[in-house]
Amino acid sequence: MIGGGIGSFFGPVHRMAAALDGQAEYVCGAFSADPDKSHRSGQELYLNPARVYADYQEMVAKESALPLDRRIDFVSIVTPNVYHFEAAKLCLEAGFNVICDKPMTGNLAEAKALKSIVAKSHKVFALTHTYTGYPMVKQARFLVQQGALGKINKVVVEYPQGWLAGFLESGVTAATMWRTDPQKAGVSLCMGDIGIHAENLVRYVTGLKVEKVCADVSHFIPGNQLDDDADILVRYQGGVKGMLSASQISTGEENGLNIRVYGTKNGLYWNQETPNYLTLKAKEGYTTTYSKGNKILCPAAQNAARLPPGHPEGIIEALANIYLEAFRAIRDGSGKRKNTIYDFPNVDDGVIGMAFVETALASASSDRKWMEMLSTEK
Amino acid sequence: MIGGGIGSFFGPVHRMAAALDGQAEYVCGAFSADPDKSHRSGQELYLNPARVYADYQEMVAKESALPLDRRIDFVSIVTPNVYHFEAAKLCLEAGFNVICDKPMTGNLAEAKALKSIVAKSHKVFALTHTYTGYPMVKQARFLVQQGALGKINKVVVEYPQGWLAGFLESGVTAATMWRTDPQKAGVSLCMGDIGIHAENLVRYVTGLKVEKVCADVSHFIPGNQLDDDADILVRYQGGVKGMLSASQISTGEENGLNIRVYGTKNGLYWNQETPNYLTLKAKEGYTTTYSKGNKILCPAAQNAARLPPGHPEGIIEALANIYLEAFRAIRDGSGKRKNTIYDFPNVDDGVIGMAFVETALASASSDRKWMEMLSTEK
Amino acid sequence: MIGGGIGSFFGPVHRMAAALDGQAEYVCGAFSADPDKSHRSGQELYLNPARVYADYQEMVAKESALPLDRRIDFVSIVTPNVYHFEAAKLCLEAGFNVICDKPMTGNLAEAKALKSIVAKSHKVFALTHTYTGYPMVKQARFLVQQGALGKINKVVVEYPQGWLAGFLESGVTAATMWRTDPQKAGVSLCMGDIGIHAENLVRYVTGLKVEKVCADVSHFIPGNQLDDDADILVRYQGGVKGMLSASQISTGEENGLNIRVYGTKNGLYWNQETPNYLTLKAKEGYTTTYSKGNKILCPAAQNAARLPPGHPEGIIEALANIYLEAFRAIRDGSGKRKNTIYDFPNVDDGVIGMAFVETALASASSDRKWMEMLSTEK
Amino acid sequence: MIGGGIGSFFGPVHRMAAALDGQAEYVCGAFSADPDKSHRSGQELYLNPARVYADYQEMVAKESALPLDRRIDFVSIVTPNVYHFEAAKLCLEAGFNVICDKPMTGNLAEAKALKSIVAKSHKVFALTHTYTGYPMVKQARFLVQQGALGKINKVVVEYPQGWLAGFLESGVTAATMWRTDPQKAGVSLCMGDIGIHAENLVRYVTGLKVEKVCADVSHFIPGNQLDDDADILVRYQGGVKGMLSASQISTGEENGLNIRVYGTKNGLYWNQETPNYLTLKAKEGYTTTYSKGNKILCPAAQNAARLPPGHPEGIIEALANIYLEAFRAIRDGSGKRKNTIYDFPNVDDGVIGMAFVETALASASSDRKWMEMLSTEK
C-alpha cells in the first residue's frame, strides 16, 4: 500500500476491503510521505519492519528486487490525489498491478498519460469507484441493459454531503485539509472527490456518455480555493437530458449519492445510504423494490452479496467487490485477458472522469456556459 | 364557479375544499364553454337551474343584478389557463372577490394587467398555489423566518411527474388534452402547470426571489407543441444557488414536489407526497422530524390542521386552508385590510410566477443561456 | 347530528366527511347534553335556530313531525359511547337512517339489542370504522379475496398511540376526559376506542373471525379506571395465528394503526399514517407498492379516490367514503336492498366488535387466560 | 475455527468479521464433521494442511501440544447448535479462549454446565449475539441508561423472517436442513435461532429481565418437528409489559429484527435492516433520528463505527465489533479483567437466553399458559 497511514480515512477501508474475502494480505507499504509515520503505521499493522518503507520509490525498488514468489502482486494507492500519477506510473512500469483510489490523477493530462502507461504495462489497473461495487447498482445496470426501462430520456444524479458546512459558521477556514489544498487535491475539491463518482455511476448504470454540460461550480467556504458545490445541466448521447449535482455544503446530508433514471417504461431509483434496495417505478402506477441477496437478481448482483437478504452489507463490502474483480484479473495473468470482461472501473473510466471534471470547471469559469465534453483522446 | 364542469379534474376539488369547513356554498356557476354541459354540471351539483349559466359573461351580468343579500360573495375560476384573465377581470370589475386557479394567466403581460385590475377593484384575489396551504409548509416557512437554518446557501426544488410518460411509447400524441394545447394552456405546459408551483414554494418557504436562470426546457412527447420537461439552474438573491426542475415525463413519479433548503445551521426537507412531515437535518449529525397537528408547531401550522397528529390530511385540506384565508379576507371587507396579513397567494405571486415561466422559456430558446429574471413591473 | 358540539374532536370531522361530496347537508342537530352549548354549536354552523334542539329526544320528536320532504334523511351519532344505544334506538324507531360512531354501544348486550332494532327498522345503520374507507384498505381486501396472498397463516395488527403518555409524568390523572370515564366510555377505554378498529380492520381485509384470545389488558395512567394498553394473542378461524395490540401509552406514536398479513405466497403491509400506499412482499424476494388513484387498482379502490396518484388523501376522505356508501344505501330505499352489497361497516360489525372487546377484557381479568370469543347471538 | 466449512452460511461471516480489523488470523480449523470436507475447506482458505484437522478433538489435542508462541489464541465455534457445548468445553478446558455462535447450547442444562466450565477456565467466552455489535444499538442502550426514555413501560420486539415460507406451498418438507433437525438444532428452531436474539436485544438495550411469558409457539411447515413461529406476551421486571415475536414463516420478511421501547418521556425505535439509524419519538410530538458515525453519539457507538456518517456499515462490521471486544479481553489476559467492562455477550447471556427459550416452549406446551421464567441458577 502507498499512503493510508495513521490518521488516514480511506486507507484502513482499503485494507479491510482487500482482505475481507481472504484472497489478499498486505505485506509491505509506504504509508506516508513522512518516513517516521510510515514506519509507525506499518508497526500498527503488524508488518515486517523490513518491508515498511520510507517512501514509495524505495518500496518499488526493493520489492522489485525480491524473488518472484515473495514479491507483492499488487499495490493499492491511497495517497492524496496529486501523487496518484507518479506512484501508479512507477508501480506499473516496475510490473506491479495497481488498484488506485479516485480521482485517478490530479488533472486530465496526467490521466491520458496514465492510460498509455497502463496499456504498455499489460498490468491490471483498477480504479476504486466504490459505489459500482454494490450489488444493487449491478442490478440497476442489468435492468437497463435488459431494456426494463425502455428508452432512457432523463437521468438525475445527486451527491449531496454536508460535512464542509461545519466550516460555514465556525470561522475555521478549509485550509487545513489536504482535500482543500490544490497542491494535494489537484484541480478540484468537490467535483474531483464526489462529482466524479456521480458521473461514473451514471455511466456504469446506463452506459451513457456526457456530451455537453452547463456547470454552476462554486464555493461557499471562506478561504476555499477549490469548489465545494456544483450544479450541472447535462446532455448525454442520444438526446438524453440530465442534472448532476455534487455538494459538500448541503447541511445535514451525509453521503447521499443517489440516481434516478427515467425511461419510457420505468423509472429507476437507487440511494447509496440504503444501498441494499433498488426501486423500479412502473409507468402503470406501482413500484417494485428489489433487495440484495435474493435469487431473482442477476448473477452479477447475486455474486456481489456475501449474505442472505435482510443482512445489511455496506461500503466495505462494495469496495471488496471491486478488489475481488481486480484479483480475478490479476490471477488470470494481467496481459492475457482475452474475451473476459472484468467488472471493475479501469483507466478509461479514470480518463473520462477527469475529462468530465475539467469540462465542468471550464464551463463554470466561462460564465457558466454550455461546453462540449473535452476530448479523452490524446 | 367558472369552469370545473363534468369531467373536470380540479373543479370538484375546489368545490370540496371551499365547502369543507362549512363557511361557503356554491350557489351558481358557468361550468363549461358548452352551455349544455354547464347546465348538466349544475344539475349534478343540485343547483338551482336558474343560477346555472351558459357562460361566465351571463353569470356575472345576472348575479350583479341580484340584491346584495342574495348575490354571490366570490367566484372560483377553474377554467383552462388562457380564460383566467378575462374571467377574473370581468368578476373583479363587477365587484366580486376572486379565487383563481394557477397559472394566473396565459402569459406575463396579462398577469401584469390583472395586477392593476385587482388593485383598482379593492377586492380579494387569491391564487390557489395549493401546496402552500399544507401545515408543514407553513412550519418550514416559520423555521426559516426564525433563523433555524442559519444563512441559506442552496435551495433544491423538484416537481417530478410521470403521467405524460404514458404517451411516450403508446403512439398517442398529446394533442387531445387542453393542457398541451397552446390555445388553451398559454405559453407553457410543464412550467406553467407545475414549474410555477416549484418557484412559488421556494419563495413561500424562504422568501427568496429568483435573479437569474439557465433553463433547459424541452419536450419529449411526440407532437407536443409545449414543454414537458424543465431543468433549471437558478441564482437567487444574495448569492443563493439552486436547482429547480419540473417534469411530466419522469416515469413512475406521481406528484413528487419536494424542497430542500440548506443553510449554515440546518438543512430542511419536505415532500408533498408525505405532506404531514417536515425534516430538519442538523449540521451536528441528527435529523428532527415534525409532524402535523402537534402543539410544538408554530400557530400557522397548528391552525392549518383539522385533526390530531397521525390522522392524515391531504391536498383537499391544503386547498381548503387557502380558501379559509381568502374567506377571512372577504369577511374583513375586501378593501379594509389594514395591518392584517393574509396567508394566501395573491396577484403579486401570480405576476412573479408568470415572469419566472417566461424567463425560463426565454433562456431555453436562447440556446439555454443564463438570463436575468424578466421585470414584474409594467 | 347528535353530539359533536363545540370542542368536540370528531364531530367536525363527521360534518366535513358527510358534506365533502356535495350529497348531504346537516340541517338540524342536538349537539350537546347541555342545551345552551347545543344552541351555540348550531349557531356556529349557520343552522336555522328552530332546528337546533336541546336534546336528541326533542330532535327526533320534532323532526318526525315535519312533512316528509322537509324531514331529515339520516342522523349522525357522535356522542360519548354510552349514549349511542339510546340515541340510535330512538332514531331508528322513528324511521331515520343512522350513521353511528364506534364503538357501537357501551357494552355487548346493548350491541345485540341494537341489532334487533336495526333489523326491525328496515333502516340503514352504518358504523364509522373509518379506516375501512381508505382506498388502499379496499385494495388489500381485494388482493386477499383474489388469492394473491395464498393461504393466510398469520396476521399482525397494531394500533399504537402515545397521547395518554403525556399524563404519565405530569401528575395529571386521566379523570377529566370522558373517554376515561366508565360512565361515558362504557366498558373500555383503549380496547373500545382503538382495539376495536384493529379487529375490524383484520376482518375487513381478511374476512377472518377471532376464535380465541389471550389478552394482557391493563393500564399505566395513574387514576385510570379503564384500560390504556392491550396486548393480545389471537387465534382466528382455520388455525390462523395472530397478535393484536392497542395502546395509548406508546410514547411518541401518533395514530399508527397498521396491519401485516402473511400468506403462503405473499405478505401484505398497510399503515394508516401513510394510507395511500400498500405493499405486497413476495416469497421470491421483492416487494411491490401500490398507490392510491392508479388504474391498476380494483374498482372499489379506484372509486374510493377523488384525486390522481400522488395527490394525498386522508382520513376525512376515508370517512367520506363510508358516508357515500351509506348515502347510496339510503337512496336505494333502505329496506329494498336486495342483491346489492354496500361497502360500509354495519350493525353486525358492531356486535362482533363489542364481543371482541368484552372477550379481551374477560380474558385479562381471568388471570390473562385464553378465552373463547363470546357469542354474538342472543 | 470449529465448523464453518464449505457450504456453511455463517462460517465465512465469522472469518470476515474476525479478520476485518487486522487483529486476528485463522491459522487452523476443524471445519466439518466430515474429515474430507474439513480438509477441502482448509485448502480453500489457504491454510497450512498440517493445521487442518479431521475433527475438533484432534485440533484441540494437537494445538495444545504446540509451543505457546505458535499456539492459537482463540477458537470460533460455528457448528450446528448441539455440538457447541462439547466443543466449547474441550477448548476451554484446554486453555483456549472461545467465541461461540448462538444459541450457546442445545438446551438449558448444558448452558448452566458451560457457565461453570467458563468460570473455572478463567478464559474469555464470547457469544455472538451479533446485533448488539451495531453502533446504533449501543446508542440505544446509552440513551436508556441516561434516562432519555424516562421510566420504561412497554417493550415490543419482533424478529420476522419469511425464508421458511418457501416450503409452505412447495410440498418440500423442512427435513433436509440441520436447523430443522432436533438432533442438530436442539430444542428449538425459531426460538433458538432468532427468538433468542430478540430477548438478548431487549436485555442489552434496556437491562430488563423477563419474569413471565405466555407463549404461542407453533409450526406451520409440513413435517417440521420444531417451532417456526412464536408470539409471546412478556412481563419484565418492574411491571414492564411487552410482546416478543419471532417467525420464519412471515412471507416476504427478510431479517426484520426490530425493537420499540416506550418510556414516560420518549419512545425508541431501531430496525436491523436499516441498522445505521436510531429514532427517538418524543412525547411532545417530534422524532429525532441519529445516525452512525456522528460525534454526538456516545463513545461506545462512535467506537463501533469504522467510517463517517452516510457510509453504510452492515452486519459483518457488527460481528467484527464483538470480536474486537473479545480480542481486547483476550489481550488483557483472560483471567485478570478486574474493573474492566467488556462489551460483548457472555456465558451469562447464554444461560439466560436458553432459559428464555425453554420457558417459552414450556408455556406453549402447557396449553399456552403464563409461566415464570425458569431459573438460571443450578
pLDDT 10s digits, D285-313: 999 999 999 999 999 999 999 999 999 99
Mean pLDDT of all residues in A165-171: 72
The answer to whether A246 faces chain B, any CB pair under 8 Å, is: no
Q: Name the minimum distance, in Å, from the CA of B266 to any CA of chain A.
A: 6
Distance of CA D314 to the CA centre of its chain: 15
- Cell 418557484 sits on residue: B199
Q: Name the minimum distance, in Å, from the CA of D284 to any CA of chain B.
A: 7
- Cell 356556529 sits on residue: C44
Q: CA nearest A292 in D: which residue?
A: D254
The answer to whether C161 faces chain B, any CB pair under 8 Å, is: yes
Predicted confidence at residue D172, as pLDDT, reads 63
- Name the nearest CA neighbour of A188 among A353, A63, A376: A353
- Cell 518503507 sits on residue: A53
Per-residue pLDDT band at A165 (split at 50, 70, 90): confident
Does residue D174 surpass a pLDDT of 60? Answer: no
CB within 8 Å: A243 and B247: no
Average pLDDT, chain A: 94
CB within 8 Å: C295 and A285: yes
The answer to whether D306 faces chain A, any CB pair under 8 Å, is: yes
The answer to whether C283 faces chain D, any CB pair under 8 Å, is: yes
Nearest to D287 among C252, C263, C280 (CB): C252
CB within 8 Å: A368 and B168: no
Distance of CA D145 to the CA centre of its chain: 22
Q: Contacts of residue A11 in chain D, CB cutoff 8 Å?
A: none
Cα A288 to Cα A96, A291, D65, D160: the distances in Å are: 44, 10, 58, 21
Cα B189 to Cα B127, B225, C375: the distances in Å are: 18, 9, 62
The answer to whether C256 faces chain D, any CB pair under 8 Å, is: no
Predicted confidence at residue B180, as pLDDT, reads 82
Test mutation, A288, A291, A295, A297, chain C, max C CBs within 10 A: A288
Predicted confidence at residue D141, as pLDDT, reads 98
CB within 8 Å: A20 and D16: yes
CB within 8 Å: D255 and A311: yes
Per-residue pLDDT band at C339 (split at 50, 70, 90): low
Q: Name the minimum distance, in Å, from the CA of D46 to any CA of chain A.
A: 8
Mean pLDDT of all residues in C155-168: 91
pLDDT 10s digits, A327-365: 999 999 865 556 678 999 999 999 999 999 999 999 999
pLDDT 10s digits, B115-130: 999 999 999 999 999 9
Per-residue pLDDT band at C340 (split at 50, 70, 90): confident
CB within 8 Å: B290 and D285: yes
Integer Cα distance of A205 and A138 in angstroms = 7
Nearest to D287 among B284, B289, B293 (CB): B289
Q: What one-character DSSP code corresponds to residue D33? A: S
Integer Cα distance of A225 and A182 in angstroms = 7
Integer Cα distance of C313 and D102 in angstroms = 47
Does residue D208 surpass a pLDDT of 80? Answer: yes
The answer to whether A162 faces chain D, any CB pair under 8 Å, is: no
**Chain A 18-47, CB below 8 Å of chain C: which residues?**
none
CB within 8 Å: B285 and D290: yes
Predicted confidence at residue A363, as pLDDT, reads 98
Predicted confidence at residue D340, as pLDDT, reads 74
Q: CA nearest C10 in B: which residue?
A: B307
Q: Is omega for the bond preceding C182 within 30 degrees of 0, making it cis?
A: no
Does residue C39 surpass a pLDDT of 70? Answer: yes
Q: What is the mean pLDDT of each run of 10 residues along chain B (378 residues)?
A: 91 96 94 95 95 97 95 95 97 97 96 97 96 98 98 98 81 66 90 97 98 97 90 97 97 98 97 98 97 97 96 98 96 70 96 98 96 94
Does residue C335 surpass a pLDDT of 80? Answer: no
pLDDT 10s digits, A58-97: 999 999 999 999 999 999 999 999 999 999 999 999 999 9
pLDDT 10s digits, A234-272: 999 999 999 999 999 999 999 999 999 999 999 999 999
Predicted confidence at residue B179, as pLDDT, reads 79
Predicted confidence at residue B96, as pLDDT, reads 97
Integer Cα distance of C189 and C173 in angstroms = 14
Reduced DSSP (H G I as helix, E B as strand, rest coil) percent helix, strand, coil of chain D, to 5: 40, 20, 40
Nearest to C273 among B161, B308, B310 (CB): B310
HSE, side-chain direction, 13 A CA sphere, residue C325: 24
Look at the alpha carbons of A69, A71, A76, A82 in this order and tell me if their dihedral is positive or negative. negative
Q: At A341, list the grid cell.
A: 470482461
CB within 8 Å: D286 and B295: no
Integer Cα distance of C344 and A32 in angstroms = 73
* CB distance D52 to D68 below 8 Å: no
CB within 8 Å: C264 and D169: yes
* Alpha helix (H) residue ranges in A161-209: 166-170, 182-185, 190, 196-206
Average pLDDT, chain C: 94
The answer to whether B303 faces chain C, any CB pair under 8 Å, is: no
ipTM value greater than 0.85: yes
The answer to whether C251 faces chain D, any CB pair under 8 Å, is: yes
CB within 8 Å: D289 and B289: yes
Predicted confidence at residue B172, as pLDDT, reads 60
Q: Contacts of residue B314 in chain C, CB cutoff 8 Å?
A: 307, 311-314, 317
Predicted confidence at residue B171, as pLDDT, reads 62
The answer to whether B166 faces chain A, any CB pair under 8 Å, is: yes
- Name the nearest CA neighbour of D203 among D266, D314, D127, D265: D127
The answer to whether A308 faces chain C, any CB pair under 8 Å, is: no
Instruction: Decide: helix, strand or coil at residue C345.
Output: coil
pLDDT 10s digits, C116-148: 999 999 999 999 999 999 999 999 999 999 999
